[in-house]
Amino acid sequence: MARLAGRTLDAAGAPAPASVGLILADDGELAALNATHMGEQRPTDVLSFPLLEPAAFPPHVGQSGVAQSAGAGFRLPPGRRIHLGDVVVSVERAVEQAKQGRGGQTADVAWSAGEELALLVVHGLLHVCGWDHAEPAEEHAMRALERRILADR
């Protein structure tokens, strides 16, 4: 997972050195986080908590209305890492989605729980790095980048 996370951050143009938190949890924890932070009363497979604005990362295809912020590209003292944010993944949900053939980007892929977990980690990290899938063009670009990162494993 560490190598996968590193490749994802590199592909998204994240500043380096940097750190991210990857928390592997269960449906109960994701349901509580989803209710608190998203207003959704159900578990979900992955939640991202970015600490930087999307403008802190290189612009990407389909991204709309993101201007470079004044704080983009700021420098830390030598030897310090910037913390980009946290990703919380429900391992329970990943296993269930894989088992039921509801995995992958289209929720209809039958593959291993490990492959589903890898997709969720990549997906969550891209959100931390300013990617989204609310607009069709950006969703297409994000999904293509996910496939490219996962193919390199």
Helix (H, G, I), strand (E, B), or coil: what is residue 77? coil
CA-to-CA separations, 111 to 3, 10, 147, 148, in angstroms, rounded: 21, 26, 14, 17
Name the class of domain 2-60+78-151.
alpha beta
Domain borders along the chain are 2-60+78-151
Expressed in angstroms, the distance from the first to the final Cα of the chain is: 10
Report percent pLDDT > 90 for the chain. 66
Mean pLDDT, the chain, rounded, equals 88
Dump pLDDT digits (tens) for 85-121.
Answer: 999 999 999 999 998 887 777 777 788 999 999 999 9
Is the pTM of the predicted complex or chain greater than 0.95? no
Q: Which residues, in sequence order, are CB contacts of 16 under 8 Å at separation 6+? A: 9, 10
Are the CB atoms for 110 and 103 separated by under 8 Å? yes
